[in-house]
Amino acid sequence: MGNVVLRAGALLLLPLLGSCGKGDWQLSEARKNVVMIEVTAQTWDYRLPWNPGTVSSARGAGFVIDGNRILTNAHVVSGARYITVQREADPRKYPAKVLHVAHDCDLALVQVQDSEFLKGTSVLPIGEIPELESVVSVYGFPIGGDRLSVTRGVVSRIDYNSYTHSGRESHLAIQIDAAINPGNSGGPVMQADKVVGVAFQGFRGDVAQNVGYMIPTPVIRRFLKDVEDGHYDHYVDIAIRWMPLENPAMRQYYHRPNDGLGVVVTDIFSEGSADGVLQKGDVLLSIDGHSIESDGSVRLDGQPVQLEEIVERKFAGDTVDLDVWRNQALEKRKITLRPAEMFSMYENLYEEPPRYVLYGGLVFQPLTANLMAVLVGSADLRLRQTYTLFGQDQIYRETPEPVILSSVLPDRSNVYLVGLAGQVVREINGRRIRTLADVLPALESGGDRTVIRFEGDQRPAVLKKSEVDQVMPRIMTQYGISEAHRTDLGGRRLAKGSWKKEGEGK
Amino acid sequence: MRRMWVLILVWGFLASLGVGEDDSRGSLVRVRASIQAYDQFRPWQKKSPFGLNGTGVVLPGGKVLATAALVANRTEVGLEKPGSAEKCAAEVEAIDYEANLALLQPTDRNFLKGFSGVVLGPALRAGDKTEVWQLERNGEMLRSQAEILSAGVGRYPSDEAGFLVYGVRVSLPKRDDSYTLPLMKDGQLAGMMMGYDRDSQEGTAIPVPMIEHFLKDAADGKYEGFPTLGVSWSPLRDPNLREEVLAPKSGGGLLLTRVNPRGTAGRAGLREGDVLLSVDGYKLDEDGNYRDPLYGPTAVGNLIRTKPTVGSPARFRISRNGKEMDLNGSYDRKARDEVAIPTLQFDTAPKYLVVGGLVFQELTGTYLQEWGEKWSERAPQRLVELFTFQHEKRPNPERKVVFLSQVLPSPITLGYLQLSGLVLEKLNGREIMNLSDLAKAVDEVKAGDLVFEFRDEPGKLILQAQDLPSVSQKIGKDYGLPALRRL
C-alpha cells in the first residue's frame, strides 16, 4: 500500500473539484464506477539488460466504461505482472488483465474476468471538451488515505502538451487548477454526469502550483476507436516542420497576399507521411478544408487549435487533403498518414525487454530513450549528440538504430577495453553497423580477429574469436547472464534507411 | 571551467609568519589588473569590470613575469612597488594563454630601477623542497615552505592538450595580491603558481622549462607560441590491438588515431593508423611516455610541446603496416591555429553584424563558454557539434561559422523573434565565408529580397533590402547599440 503511481518523468495525478452541487445522483453514479487499480509491475534495467528488472507495486485509478472494460492510464499498468481492481462498494479485489495499452497517449484498458465485479456498476458516458473556467471533479485514490478522494477544480487551459509517459509525444491536454497527487492517475474527471477527461500528470516540485493535466475526450475517443479492431496502432504523424508565415518580407517572397493565412514547410522528414508529397518552401493554406492561419492554427468546433490536431484525430491509412501554394500556383495534395516509426528511438519503452548482444564482456545495445536515461550521467558529447541530432539530421537514413557499446563487463580477457564503454559502434569486421540486427552476423564474419571500430577517433577494440568463445561461459556465469543476446524487435519497427546496399561487407 | 585560481581574498591582516630577508628584496612587484571582458551574448558591449591582484616576478632587465590569466581581458594593468604605493602602468609585451604566461613591461622604464630581479632556477622534481612567496601589506616577504608532489603533463586552464605542470603542496595564508604567486628555490624562480585549492592545500605551478620556452620565444619581439603535433593517439598496451596494427614485437609506440594533415605530424607524412615509435630520438613506450632525463617517464606531450620551438626540426620514427621508417618535418602550430572555429579568445572584441534586427556573429569557443559550465548541453547543439568535432571533420579553416545569434524585435523581424543559434550558409545564393563577407554581401543589395539561407530549419529568412537603412538605424537607437557592426 502507500505506493503511488509515479513512474515516468513527472507523472503526478490531478485531483479536481466535484461536480457542482447537482445532487447526490451523479456523485454516487461516479463513485459506483471508479475503481482502485493496484499493480505489481516489473521495470527493465537497461544497465543490466538481461535481468528481469525491479518489481514494484503502485496504485492508480480507473473507471468502468462500456464493453465491460476499465479505462485507466497506460503508466498505471505499464510492465504489469499482476493487477487487481477494487470498487468502493465491494471490498473484494478482483484480478484483472490488460486488454490494450497505448503508451503514446497514456491510456489503457483493463478487464476483470469475474462477472461478480460488474454487479452494481454502470457505464460512465464520455462527454466533450469542457468550457474554460467551468468546474470539474476529479476522482481517484491519491496519497493521504486509502478511500476514494474527490477534488474540484477549474478548467484553466486547453492546449498541446507533452505526454511524459512516452517522452516524445505531444497531444491535446487540459490543464486544471486543482493540486494533483500520485494515485489520481487514471481516475475520471467529471462534469455534470459525464467523463470529460482522465487525470494523468502534473508538475512535481516547486516550479508550479495547482497545475494538473487530464487527457481530454478527443484523445480518449481516438484510443477507443483505434482498438475496435482488436489492436492498438500508434498515433500518425505528418512528419514535417513548418514556420509561421507572419513576416511581411517572407510573405512577399512566397507571393502571398497579406491575408494572414498560410505557413511555410521548412522540413520534411524522410520516410514520413509527407515524404515525396510536400517540398520545402511549400505554403500550406488549408488542411481538410480548414483554413490555416499564419500562426499555424485552424478552427475546429469554433476553437483555435494547432493544425496538427486535424492529423491527431486520424488513423494510419487515413488521408488529409492539403491546399498547397507552390511555384505561385495552388495545388491539391493528399497525404496518406502513417506513424513516424523513424523516431521511435525517442519513445520510452515499457513492455518489451531490452535488446542486447553480449560478446566477450562487451555489451552492445541499441540507442533508445531508456538506454540514454541510464547513460546520461556518463554519456560523452558524441553519444549525446547522436541522440539529440538523430531526428533533426535524419541520421536514421544512414543508421536507423545506432548501436552503442553500452558497457564492458570486466574480465581478465578484456582489461584493455573497459575505457571504450559508451562509444558509438561504426563497424565490426569491416561491416557497417546500422541496427542491432547487424551486430551478430558481423561478429561472426571475418577471420580469427574481430575488429570493432567506433565513431570518431577512438581506438578500435580487437578481440580473438577463439578467446571470446572460451571466456563467454565464464563471463555469463560470473555476471548471471542466461542469454548471450536478445535481438528480437517484437512488433516495433525502425526506419527503413535509405543507404545503398552495394559496397556492403567488403 | 575547471579553474582553481589562487584567489586569495583580502582577509585582513594576519600576523606575518615569516620575515623578509635581503635576498628577497627587489624581486617581486604587485600587479593590479582591471578586467573587463566582452559580453558574448551582447557583443556590442562589455561586462562588469572587476580587479585582479597578483604578484609578478621582476626579471633581470626590468620586465615582469605574471600568469596570463591575471591579465586576460584587461583594460589596464598597473604595477605597484611592495614597500610603497608607488605605481606605474604596464604594457603586455608577450602573452600566451595556452601556457598561461605573460610578460609585462612598465611604461616607465625606470620604475623598477634598483630591482635586482630574479633569475630562473633549475627544473624541479617530485620531492624537491621549495617556497611560495607572498607579499605582506608592508612589503615584507612571507615565505611558505612547499613541496613538489609531481612533475608531469597536465591540463592548463585555457589549453586543449596539456603541458608540463608541477603539483605543489603548500599551506598558503590568505593575503592580498595572491592571484599569481612565484614558486622559489634558493632565491631563484622555480615556477609560477597558477592554481590552489585551500581544502587540500595542493596547487599547480607552471614549471621553469615552460617559462624558459616562453621567454625565449618572446625575446625576439615576435611571439609564436608552443608547437603542436596535430594528432590524437591511443596507448598500445593491448596485445590484440598491437597485433592488429602490426606494432613491433619489441614493444613500445602509440597508435595515431587521427592526424591533421596541416599539422606538424601530418606534414611530416604521418598518417592515421601509424604506430609512433619515437620523437626526436626519444623512444615512446606503450602508454605514450618517453624517458625524460630529469623527470623519468613523462607524457609525450612534454616532448612535442615544451622542448621544441616553432620552426625547429621534428624527427619521427614510425611503424606503418609493420614496416619501420623515419619521417622528418618541422614543428609548427598550424593544427591549432588554422581552424574554422578559434578556441578561446581573450582580449579580442567579438565580431558582429546587425541586419535589420538579425544579429550575426562568428562562432568561437569563447562564445560557447558564455553558456556556462554546462555549455555543451545548453548552447545550441549545432554550434556545439561544429566546435567539438572540428578537429575530426576538419572543415575549411578559411570558412568561419557565421550564425544568427539572436533577433532583436523590429517591424521587419516579425515572425523571426524566437530564432537563434542558426548557422548561415548563403545570402542570395552566395556562399558566406565570414562575417565581413556577409556584411559586404548585404551592403551590395540595395533593393529587393535578402534571402538568408541557414543550415538548419527554418532554412530561409527573408528581409527587404530597402527597409534596412531606416530600420537598422532605428534599432541602433532603440537598443542603444554603439554600432551596428564590428567586423
Instruction: Answer yes or no: is pLDDT of A483 > 70.
Output: yes
The pLDDT of residue B4 is above 70: no
Q: What pLDDT score does A210 carry?
A: 77
The rounded distance, in Å, linking the Cα atoms of B339 and B42 is 24
Q: Does B257 touch chain A (CB under 8 A)?
A: yes
Contact B451 A267 (CB under 8 A): no
End-to-end CA distance of chain B: 28
Is A185 among the residues known to form the active site?
yes
Low-confidence winner among A164-173, A272-281, B33-42 (lowest mean pLDDT): A164-173
Contact A253 B257 (CB under 8 A): no
User: CA distances (Å), A274 to each of A237, A238, B413, in order?
Assistant: 9, 6, 29
Contact by Cβ (8 Å): A35, A76: no
Instruction: Enumerate the residues of chain B whose CB falls inside 8 A of the CB of residue A387.
Output: none
Mean pLDDT of chain A: 89
Query: From the CB of residue B143, how many other CB atoms can be counted at a distance below 10 Å?
Result: 16
Angle at B243 (CA atoms; ends B237, B245), nearest 5 degrees? 90
pLDDT of residue A378: 84
Cβ of residue A384 closer than 8 Å to a chain B Cβ: yes
Residue A378 C-alpha, separation from nearest chain B C-alpha, in angstroms = 13
Search chain B and give the residue with CA nearest A467.
B240
Q: Quick check: A23 pLDDT over 90?
A: no
Asked whether the beta carbons of residue B388 and residue A266 sit closer than 8 angstroms, the reply is no
Is B461 in contact with A392 (Cβ distance < 8 A)?
A: no
Q: What is the pLDDT of residue A168?
A: 85
Partners of residue B197 on adjacent β-strands: B202
Contacts of B393 in chain A (CB under 8 A): none
- Give the closest of B257, B388, B414 to A381, CB-based: B388
Which among A219, A218, A208 has a CA at the least distance from the CA of A180? A208
| Out of B388, B412, B458, closest to residue A249 by CB | B412
Q: Are strands B296-299 and B402-407 parallel, antiparallel or unpaired?
A: unpaired
Smallest Cα distance from A458 to chain B, Å: 7
In this predicted structure, the answer to whether residue A438 has a pLDDT above a threshold of 70 is yes
Q: Residue A2 pLDDT more than 90?
A: no
CB B148 within 8 A of CB B125: yes
Q: C-alpha cell of B95? A: 602573452
Work out the pLDDT band at B176, boundaries 50, 70, 90.
confident
* A270 touches B at CB < 8 Å: no
Q: What CA–CA distance (Å, rounded) separates B399 from B397? A: 5
A458 and B CB contact within 8 Å? yes
CB contact under 8 Å between A253 and B462, yes or no, is yes
pLDDT digits over B94-147, tens only?
Answer: 999 999 999 999 999 999 988 989 999 999 999 999 999 999 888 888 999 999
Q: Which of B108, B110, B63 is nearest to B89 (CA)?
A: B108
pLDDT in tens, B77-98: 999 999 888 999 999 999 999 9
What SS3 string covers chain B?
CCCCCCCCCCCCCCCCCCCCCHHHCCCEEEEEEEECCECCCCCCCECCCEEEEEEEEECCCCCEEECHHHHCCEEEEEEECCCCCCEEEEEEEEEECCCCEEEEEECCCCCCCCCCCCCECCCCCCCCEEEEEEECCCCCEEEEEEEEEEEEEECCCCCCCCEEEEEEEECCCCCCCCCCEEEEECCEEEEEEEEEECCCCEEEEEEHHHHHHHHHHHHCCCCCCCCECCEEEECCCCHHHHHHCCCCCCCCCEEEEEECCCCHHHHCCCCCCCEEEEECCEECCCCCEEEECCCEEEEHHHHHHCCCCCCCEEEEEEEECCEEEEEEEECECHHHHCCCCCCCCCCCCCCEEEECCEEEEECCHHHHHCCCCCHHHHCCHHHHHHHHCHHHHCCCCCCCCEEEEEECCCHHHCCCCCCCCEEEEEECCEECCCHHHHHHHHHHCCCCEEEEEECCCCCEEEEEHHHHHHHHHHHHHHCCCCCCEEC
Q: What is the H or E stretch that residue A430 is in? A: none
Percent of chain B exceeding pLDDT 70 equals 95
Residue B257 has what pLDDT?
96
Q: Give the sign of the dihedral formed by CA B351, CA B355, CA B359, CA B364.
A: negative
CB A489, CB A356: distance < 8 Å: no
Q: Does the pLDDT value for residue B345 go beyond 90?
A: no
Nearest to B234 among A247, A451, A459 (CB): A459
pLDDT of residue A205: 62
Which residues in chain A have Cβ-Cβ distances shorter than 8 Å to B456?
Answer: 392
Residue with cell 515516468: A8
Residues B290-302 have a mean pLDDT of 92
User: What's the pLDDT score for residue A494?
Assistant: 86
pTM of the model: 0.89
CB distance from A245 to chain B under 8 Å? yes
3-state DSSP assignment of residue A225: helix
> Could you identify the residue written with the cell 527597409?
B467
CB-CB contact of A280 with A326 (8 Å) = no
Are B414 and A246 inside 8 Å of each other by CB?
yes
B254 → chain A, closest CA residue: A459
B173 pLDDT exceeds 60?
Answer: yes
- Given this model, what pLDDT does residue A89 score? 80
- B429 vs A495, which has greater pLDDT? B429
Q: Cα(A173)–Cα(A161) distance, rounded to whole angstroms?
A: 6
Find chain A residues with C-beta within 8 A of B451's C-beta: 253
pLDDT band for position B430 (50/70/90)?
A: very high
Burial grade of B14 (CB within 10 A; 0-12, 13-18, 19 or more):
exposed
What pLDDT is attached to residue A18?
Answer: 28
Cα–Cα nearest to A445, from A458, A433, A457, A460: A433
Is the separation of the CB atoms in B423 and B401 below 8 Å? yes
φ, ψ for residue A357, nearest 5 deg: -130, 130
Q: Chain B neighbours among A 331-350 (CB < 8 Å)?
A: none
Query: Which residues in chain A have their CB less than 8 angstroms from residue B427's CB?
Result: none
Kindly state whether A416 is in contact with chain B, defined as any CB-CB distance less than 8 angstroms: yes
Q: What pLDDT digit, counting tens, does each position of A325-339 carry? A: 999 999 999 999 999
DSSP bridge pairs for A329: A326
Tell me which chain B residues have a C-beta less than 8 angstroms from the C-beta of A458: 234, 257
Catalytic residue among A19, A75, A104, A294: A75
Q: Is B377 on the interface with A (CB under 8 A)?
A: yes
Q: How confident is the model at residue A204 (pLDDT cuts 50, 70, 90)?
A: low
Render pLDDT for A285-312 as a digit per residue (tens, 0 to 9).
999 999 999 999 999 888 888 999 999 9
CB burial of residue B486 (10 Å; 0-12, 13-18, 19+): middle
Joined grid coordinates for residue B362? 562568428
Q: CA-based Rg of chain A, rounded to a whole angstrom?
A: 26
Mean pLDDT of A107-127: 91
Please tell me which residue of chain A has the smallest CA distance to B241.
A462
Q: What is the least distance, in Å, from the CA of A276 to any CA of chain B?
A: 18
- Specify which residues A70 forms β-bridges with: A64, A110
Find chain B residues with C-beta within 8 A of A456's C-beta.
389, 392
pLDDT band at A79 (very low <50, low <70, confident <90, very high): very high
CB-CB contact of A163 with A105 (8 Å): yes
In chain B, the percentage of residues whose pLDDT exceeds 90 is 83
DSSP β-bridge partners for residue B120: B189
Q: Is the pLDDT of residue A277 over 90?
A: yes
* pLDDT value at residue A207: 66
Residue B369 has pLDDT above 70, yes or no: yes
Average pLDDT over residues A266-280: 95
Helix, strand or coil, per DSSP, at residue A292: coil
Taking CB atoms and an 8 Å cutoff, what residues of chain A touch B458? 241, 243, 264, 266
CB B172 within 8 Å of CB B145: no
| Cβ pair B232:A246 closer than 8 A | no
Helix (H, G, I), strand (E, B) or coil at A33: helix
Q: Which residues pair with A166 in a beta bridge?
A: none
Which of A78, A137, A149, A185 is the catalytic position? A185
* Residue pointed to by grid coordinates 606605474: B88
